[in-house]
Chain A
Amino acid sequence: MSGPLTHTYRSGEVHRFAAADQDFIYLVSAGAIFALDGAVGDVLAMLDTQEVSHGDLVARLASPGASSMGMSPADAEDLVRELRLARVIVSDQTVAAPAPAKPEGDYPLQALVLNITNQCNLACTYCYEFGADKISTQAGKPKYMTLDTAKASVDLLLAQSGGRPAVHITFFGGETLMNFALLKDVVTYATQQAEAEGRAITFSLTTNATLLTDPIIEFLADARIGVTVSIDGPKEMQDKRRVYKSGKGSYDVIEPKLRKLLARHRSRAITARVTLSDGVTDVVSIFRHLREDLGFHEVGFAPVTESGEQAYALGEAGMTSVLEQFHQLADEWLEYALRGQMHGFSNVSETIGELVQGTNKSHPCGAGLGLMGVSPSGDLSPCHRFTDADSHVMGHVSTGIDRAAQGAFLTKGHVGAKYECQSCWARPLCAGGCHHEAFVRYGDTGHANLHYCDWIREWTDTCLKIQGTLAVKNPEFLEKFAERKGLS
């Protein structure tokens, strides 16, 4: 028979960091961030190397020789209870915190990415849709989405989005503007349908900017359509891989168009999305050009997706250089934030937005969950990166979502199914990383993206320190991020 229960404590899963002369913890089981006082630091230090029983812990905290303390036994009991209830320390009698729950099977859609054409007028050498590592099979499939398919997509989105007051459509390609006529019709139709149901709908598109014209820019501004431009930087970097089929660079074509777009379109954020690849690693000068010279509101960077064997891969040295420059821009971001200004480096803004909320992800992103991709033929896929990939069809706009395929994808992609992630403190934000990147790299969407774990942890730590510094010195600035997701 059991005797009286005694608690023996160990440290909960926490990542400790310090910023602005203040100690913090990132509580991994929840994604919560707490500032600590000295007594908590002492408890965690005691539990660093060994487990300690309840009685011993209280006695040590209450002993006059202890560093922070000599607190009364009652105060020590209160401290231990506070830490136990918050799961900062855990007892052998405590049931482990569960992994974030898998969302319900009929989780409502929030956004669709309409691949309105798979055709493109550029031939960027690293393209995931047409390049060496492509997973799509376009042969024999429609090249342009028809209005019927697009309407069916809109209907599906509205029907499958439950009671959400607002939904979103992203137009994608190929080069999206090669099917601009359809885009206009879809905006009209979707707006009518949403209004009839008393719901809001917003739009955005991704483009390479080569086909922008004055009337198109007018339309995008008037219809409040968010624009993301895929661009790799100033001329010498843009023209390295973002080229026409002839090999000619695209910078000279897009530069004047972008200046017009940024001057005219003020109703939504215009962001630049940079792909970093071998030789295109000059992050700081790319940022300066796009943000300060051209005037993009936000600039985000991501390393090129590739199987690990391509010549355009970043490589170890490239990655190190990229990280150093990320830190330089992160420092600038913080300086701006301390003055109450937005800097425009998306890689920090996005992470801070998630840290402010305390995101604890069951899946790396909304793919296959609140978001799906639609190919020109109407096939559904987890996201735009799986468009036209036969291996990842998840239903059709005319017949609905294939719940079995969706369930299998989400079961694989759940953070709890990724063994390596279980011991990583950065999993609340990363959850194993991009499903598509994992498929290209490891042939399995459910594989953790092990090739960038160290990088993710270092970056998350950097952003935690920024968050910590702001929590001490300019907490009002962080409040701007509380509703960020809703505004973008």
Chain B
Amino acid sequence: MKHLRPVNQKAKAISENVEAQIAATQEDVVGLQQTVRPHVPMGCTLSFSPGWEVDATGGTAGLCQPVERDIYDCYVTCFWPVQVPDHVNYSPDWASNCAAAAKDWRSLDIIFP
């Protein structure tokens, strides 16, 4: 780091971590990490459904839809290839207790195959 000089062990650890993060951005895919940010709704795919698991800062606070909606979305619109219960044949009521996934995703049933 150029402007902060670590003077204890914890600061050294943070410094190494920051250096590693900076190095990673320099050699990584830069599509959404450039400093002049593109005018796309960050945190979303272009179809305005979840897909970016983290927002532009690496957290989840800035996603345009709550992360919890991800799993429900996979089930209903069914375009995202992940393992969800078979709601056609065996578990039609899997999500019936879950009206608003962002709030009550904990009510999604556990399915035992």
Asked if A95 is at the interface of the complex by the 8 Å CB criterion, the answer is yes
* Count, chain A residues at interface, CB 8 A: 42
Asked if B89 is at the interface of the complex by the 8 Å CB criterion, the answer is no
Bound Cα distance A355, B6 (Å): 12
Q: Per-residue 0/1 for A66-82: is the Cβ within 8 Å of any B Cβ (1 yes, 0 no)?
A: 00000000000111011
A35 near B7 with CB under 8 A, answer yes
- In the complex, chain B residues whose CB is within 8 Å of the CB of A81: 22
- In the complex, chain B residues whose CB is within 8 Å of the CB of A117: none
Question: How would you classify the secondary structure of chain B's contact residues: helix, strand, loop or mixed?
Answer: loop
Q: Per-residue 0/1 for B4-24: is the Cβ within 8 Å of any A Cβ (1 yes, 0 no)?
A: 111111110111011001100
Asked if A39 is at the interface of the complex by the 8 Å CB criterion, the answer is yes
Bound Cα distance A326, B1 (Å): 36
Bound Cα distance A34, B9 (Å): 10
Q: Per-residue 0/1 for A8-34: is the Cβ within 8 Å of any B Cβ (1 yes, 0 no)?
A: 000000000000000010010011111
Asked if A198 is at the interface of the complex by the 8 Å CB criterion, the answer is no
A94 near B3 with CB under 8 A, answer no
A79 near B3 with CB under 8 A, answer yes
Q: Which of B7, B17, B39 contacts A4 (CB 8 A)?
A: B39
A467 near B39 with CB under 8 A, answer no
- In the complex, chain B residues whose CB is within 8 Å of the CB of A159: none
- In the complex, chain B residues whose CB is within 8 Å of the CB of A204: none
Bound Cα distance A57, B32 (Å): 21
B20 to chain A, nearest CB (A): 10
Bound Cα distance A128, B86 (Å): 65
- In the complex, chain B residues whose CB is within 8 Å of the CB of A33: 6-8, 10-11
Bin the interface of chain B by size.
35 or more
- In the complex, chain A residues whose CB is within 8 Å of the CB of B48: 1
Asked if A331 is at the interface of the complex by the 8 Å CB criterion, the answer is no
Chain B interface: which of A83-91, A102-110, A149-157, A437-445? A83-91
B10 near A31 with CB under 8 A, answer yes
A32 near B14 with CB under 8 A, answer yes
Given A4-B42, A34-B4, A39-B3, A482 contacting B57 (CB threshold 8 A)? no
B56 near A5 with CB under 8 A, answer yes
Asked if A421 is at the interface of the complex by the 8 Å CB criterion, the answer is no
A34 near B57 with CB under 8 A, answer no
B57 near A91 with CB under 8 A, answer yes
B7 near A5 with CB under 8 A, answer no
- In the complex, chain A residues whose CB is within 8 Å of the CB of B39: 3-4
B55 to chain A, nearest CB (A): 7
Bound Cα distance A468, B5 (Å): 12
A95 near B61 with CB under 8 A, answer yes
Q: Which of A77, A91, A94, A357 contacts B10 (CB 8 A)?
A: A357
A2 near B43 with CB under 8 A, answer yes
B62 near A5 with CB under 8 A, answer yes
- In the complex, chain B residues whose CB is within 8 Å of the CB of A86: 1, 4, 14-15, 18
Bound Cα distance A40, B2 (Å): 10
Bound Cα distance A467, B7 (Å): 9
B40 near A32 with CB under 8 A, answer no
Bound Cα distance A40, B7 (Å): 16
Bound Cα distance A179, B59 (Å): 58
B3 near A5 with CB under 8 A, answer no
A79 — nearest CB in chain B belongs to which residue?
B3
- In the complex, chain B residues whose CB is within 8 Å of the CB of A141: none
B4 near A40 with CB under 8 A, answer yes
Bound Cα distance A62, B43 (Å): 29
20 contacts between A and B (CB under 8 A): A1-B48, A3-B41, A4-B39, A5-B43, A5-B56, A32-B6, A35-B4, A39-B3, A82-B1, A82-B18, A86-B14, A88-B4, A91-B57, A93-B56, A355-B8, A356-B8, A356-B9, A357-B8, A358-B11, A359-B10
**New contact pairs (19) apart from A2-B62, A5-B57, A358-B11, CB-CB < 8 Å:** A2-B41, A3-B41, A4-B37, A5-B37, A27-B14, A30-B14, A34-B6, A36-B3, A77-B35, A82-B1, A82-B18, A85-B22, A86-B18, A93-B61, A95-B61, A356-B8, A358-B9, A358-B13, A475-B7
Instruction: Identify the 3 closest CB pairs spanning chains A and B, nearest first.
Output: A358-B10, A95-B59, A32-B11
